Amino acid sequence: MEAVKLSSPEARAGAHEMWRAVILVVVALVLGGFLRFPDLAAKPMHVDEATQAVKLGEMMEGRYAYDPVDHHGPTLLYATLPVTWFSGGRGWPDLSESELRLVPVLFGMGLLVLLVLVGDGLTPSELGWGAVAVAVSPVMVFYSRYYIMEMLLVFFTFGLMGCGWRFYLNRQTGWLVGAGVFAGLMHATKETCVLQFAAMGVAMGVVWTVDLFSAGSGLGVVNRSRKNPIRGTQCAAFVAAAVLTSVAIFSKGFRDGGAVVDSVATYGKMFKRSGGQGHEKPFLYYGELVWGGAMSGGPGTRGEGEFWKQLPEKVGLKPSGRIVWGERGLLGLGLIGMATAFITKPSRNQSRHVVRFLAVYSVALFLLYSAIAYKTPWLVLGPWHGMLLLAGVGAASLLRLVEGRVGRVLMGGVLVVAMLHSALLAYRATRGAPSFAGHVRNPLNYSMTSADCLDWVEKMYRFAEVSGKGDQLRIVQADARGGWPLPWYLGRKFPQYQWQGGELSAMEGADVILSGMEFRASLPESVRGVEGAPGAGREWVEFSLTLHPSGRMAVYVRRALWEAYVAKAPWPPLAIQG
């Protein structure tokens, strides 16, 4: 049987482009997995991770209640339950940091899978290079390994876009229902989804306006749908799917109507929090985060010298040096892709709707987040994901601009080097030797948990051993901020650990007392060592514990317990993270 021959040079070129795109997607999956899955316990739990982990414990024990003041929706917690089932049905105290962080990793990888929904809105090369950009972006990799809901929000947002695009093409109600489900999941994940909705609305408006002036210009892929207007019943199906999904999740299966009301009322509190509450940043914060700059130098840094001698340090080959951090290459490709969306003419069976939508959406969302005083680095994930897909468009555009086989090979080589450098920075940010995962030099670390915190957690384990009480060691904590992330580290090990409303009466029988600095003056005088107080300076030893850059606590250990601990020093290292 003879092999089927492609009928034209265009068909052969299209087939070759498709195969190259398949290779790029496979590379993206391999690189993305390599950068995300290994060594998930490389850094301590962040405060926000610990609060979600403790909420998961409440859900597993049947005590969970939605908190509209200090917490977000419960989707992350529900998404974690299957991980607990596959881990052998172990209880919350037995869960590890790696198991929890596996959840956002899977959603981060899932973004690559969702590209199939918009595959015919991009050329094969654009899709392939976009997949690689998402896979190797240091920001995407770093926060895919954070047990927070941001990666889930990005995944659900892209799912909404993808289902919306499928519906736009074929007008099948099922796709609009799917879009509604994703919209409901967005709301049940994080209340900031309203910014995503607003940015998508702006993007649809701009694309529709541009479409009015370019109808019939390379839009054959969507023209077949012009005879099928959107029906009111389809819109109702979208709204119903979104509302039912959100209500079902917030109400724990339609059993708690009050949580549904709170999920709407929380927007008043969200408006107040937008003023900053200690997280105020300038308008250009997110731009500077993506643009980056030189790290502070580590051990062995050369300092000033010849450019070529410093180059290995600057590009990250030597992790101790002043690495020039940032995603400038991907940003540049994204800007090229953005320009391409509006100035290039699509082919006969190709639409620029998806690319134009992503361009406007990314800019609009970036501006919305930048205009709000309250800023944390992971909030950039939403607009940055769109920009990374545009980076794929930019990469494919550069290859199309170059004439000749040799020129395209050279340009492809430059793009490969740029992607590999981003992958190297992502690797440095998450693990490696030395690892920047939990280091102050890492610009992606924000209010990170200090090494001192884990040192004291290890001491608590040793106190339990030398006291003879084991897991029944009594630790009483009084701290207005909760002493995070200690409730995650101590709450699983010590049932007698009291971290909510530690009372003075409970402190009398405690082995260790943890006090926020604002509560220190309220402690019994004998504990604080006030001169003249009974037992002052004899029964307790005082220390200081640094939780993170903005959190400190006073630690009081019974003198006999401390002396027993010191007598057995030096202690072998103890693995706290797992």
pLDDT in tens, 257-284: 999 998 898 887 777 776 656 678 899 9
Token couple for 239: 């709204």
pLDDT the model gives residue 225: 47
In a 10 Å sphere around its CB, with 0-12 CB exposed, 13-18 middle and 19+ buried, how is residue 62 labelled? Answer: exposed
Give 224's DSSP letter.
T
CA angle (399 as vertex; 396, 405 as ends), nearest 5: 145
- The long-range contacts involving 221-224, CB below 8 angstroms and separated by at least 24 positions, are 221/120, 221/169, 221/349, 221/350, 221/351, 222/168, 222/169, 222/351, 222/353
pLDDT the model gives residue 453: 93
In a 10 Å sphere around its CB, with 0-12 CB exposed, 13-18 middle and 19+ buried, how is residue 273 labelled? Answer: middle
Give the strand pairing for 540-548 and 475-478. Answer: unpaired
Q: How far apart are CA 247 and CA 260, in angstroms?
A: 6
Q: How many CB atoms lie under 10 A from the CB of residue 65?
A: 14
> CB-based contacts of 354: which residues, under 8 Å, 6+ apart?
118, 121, 122, 165
Q: How many CB atoms lie under 10 A from the CB of residue 324?
A: 17
The sign of the dihedral angle between the CA atoms of 398, 400, 402, 407 is positive
Query: Taking the complete model, does pTM exceed 0.95, yes or no?
Result: no
Ramachandran region, residue 62 (left: φ > 0; alpha: ψ -120 to 50; beta: rest): left
pLDDT the model gives residue 532: 47
Looking up tokens 């990374």 gives: 388
Q: How many CB atoms lie under 10 A from the CB of residue 243?
A: 15
Looking up tokens 């850059």 gives: 549
pLDDT the model gives residue 226: 52
pLDDT the model gives residue 134: 98
- Name the stretches of the chain with pLDDT < 50: 1-2, 4, 216-221, 224-225, 298-303, 531-533
CA angle (384 as vertex; 382, 386 as ends), nearest 5: 80
Looking up tokens 């993270």 gives: 577
Do 496 and 473 touch, CB atoms closer than 8 A? yes
Nearest to 347 by CA among 289, 403, 396: 396
Type of residue numbered 136: V
The sign of the dihedral angle between the CA atoms of 449, 451, 452, 454 is positive
Give CA 342 to chain center in angstroms.
Answer: 30
DSSP 134-163: HHH-HHHHHHHTSSSSHHHHHHHHHHHHHH
CA dihedral 20→24→27→33, nearest 10 degrees, is -150
Q: In this structure, what are the phi and psi dihedrals at residue 311, rounded to the nearest 5 degrees?
A: -55, -45
DSSP 323-351: -B-S-HHHHHHHHHHHHHHHHSPP-TT--
Looking up tokens 């007598």 gives: 567
Nearest to 322 by CA among 313, 330, 334, 331: 313
